[in-house]
Amino acid sequence: MKKVYTLEDLKTRFVKQEIVSSIQCGGNRRAGLDTLKKTSGTGWSCGAMSNAKWGGVWLRDILTDCGLTDPDAAGVEHVQFEAIEGVMASIPVEKAVSTFGDTLVAYEMNDVEIPREHGYPVRAIVPGHVGIRNVKWLSSIQTSDEESQGPWQRGLAYKGFGPYVTDVKGIDLDAIYSVQEMPIQSAIVEPLPDSKVEGNCEVTVRGFAWSGGGRGIVRVDVSGDGGETWCQAELTEGSEQKPNRAWAWTFWEADVMVPANKIGSTIELCCKATDVSYNVQPEQVQPIWNLRGLNNNSWHRVAVKVVEDE
């Protein structure tokens, strides 16, 4: 069944729903992988991620209104999105129709209409999934027994490979699963790299943590000596989310003692998070390096300079 909805239809014919969701680019922290070996993509640090409150219509309500009540009987395996400018991406139908999946066709961002640069008039919000599935400037939605066509779904762009793959020649890209849910992640945002901290004093370390699939954060560990010793951070805003529907990032902070004997040297602050499924970030980038530079979730490290107490 084909139906056409105007923006006014979405606002008046369906019950408005709201979620708070973080959106992370698959290449977030790609720069960390590039320190080992150059990848194919923009060398993002940890800033290719954002968080907002979204208002709109559950995708499942729209699909039900179009007559999709039994995806298995209808042979539907994927829901495809297409943007006005031609981007095509898709998600598994299970995510689209789940009452716990919270996939949204959004027309508001932070209680106002979505800014043009963020997808006005409507966009897909697929919480817990890689940013490209959150298609902006949405023009059509289609159910199908296959994924979307195009480079953002079937091409090299969002395919994960092992660290031994340096060339895709001879590789059947269609056989490689496209990135959907993302792995456990955390990053330090304070202090900044190369900041000065005082020896024989505590330094407050702050950051965020997030895990794909709505998996809530249960712990963040912070080290002031490159991982030799650890302390547990306090989870703050975001920690109140439901354990398996934690779509937004969780903030954290910890006070770390800087030894007096490190004055005049550089120390490495690092963090690692654990989610409700007890997935933990890997220590190094070597085992997770990949050609496209996707899903770098190794320990985040920030080098700071230790100075005398002023």
Each residue's pLDDT tens digit, 168-220: 999 999 899 999 999 999 999 999 999 999 988 999 999 999 999 999 999 99
Residue 32 is assigned to a structural domain of this protein: yes
pLDDT of amino acid 230:
97
CATH number at residue 56: 3.90.420.10
95 and 150 part of one domain: yes
Confidence of residue 51 (pLDDT cuts 50, 70, 90): very high
pLDDT of amino acid 166:
93
pLDDT digits (tens, 9 = 90+) for 78-129: 999 999 999 999 999 999 999 999 999 999 999 999 999 999 999 999 999 9
Confidence of residue 262 (pLDDT cuts 50, 70, 90): confident
* 63: DSSP letter: H
- Is the link from the previous residue into 121 a cis peptide, with omega within 30 of 0? yes
67 and 133 part of one domain: yes
Above 80 in pLDDT, residue 271?
yes
pLDDT of amino acid 1:
75
266 and 162 part of one domain: no
Confidence of residue 259 (pLDDT cuts 50, 70, 90): confident
CATH number at residue 292: 2.60.40.650
CA 160, CA 179: separation in Å to the nearest integer? 7
Domain count, the chain: 2
Residue 180 is assigned to a structural domain of this protein: no
Other CB atoms within a 10 A radius of the CB of residue 33 amount to 26
58 and 143 part of one domain: yes
Residue 75 is assigned to a structural domain of this protein: yes
pLDDT of amino acid 309:
74
40 and 133 part of one domain: yes
Burial letters 116-130, b for 16+ CB under 10 A, else e: eebbebbbbbbbbbb
pLDDT of amino acid 260:
84
19 and 149 part of one domain: yes
If you write DSSP's letter for every residue of 263-280 in order, what string do you get? Answer: TTSEEEEEEEEEETT--B
For the segment 143-151, the average pLDDT, to the nearest whole number, is 95
Average pLDDT, the chain: 96
Q: Which domain does 300 fall in, by range?
A: 185-307
238 and 295 part of one domain: yes
217 and 244 part of one domain: yes
Residue 187 phi, psi dihedral angles, 5° rounding: -155, 150
Above 70 in pLDDT, residue 162?
yes
171, burial (CB in 10 Å: exposed 0-12, middle 13-18, buried 19+)? middle
CA 20, CA 137: separation in Å to the nearest integer? 19
- Domain end call among 130, 155, 175: 175
pLDDT of amino acid 310:
64
- Domain end call among 175, 193, 216: 175
Per mean pLDDT, which range of 60-64, 94-98, 155-159 is the poorest?
155-159
pLDDT digits (tens, 9 = 90+) for 222-258: 999 999 999 999 999 999 999 999 999 999 999 999 9
157 and 198 part of one domain: no
- Domain end call among 175, 208, 227: 175
- Is the link from the previous residue into 191 a cis peptide, with omega within 30 of 0? yes
Above 90 in pLDDT, residue 2?
no
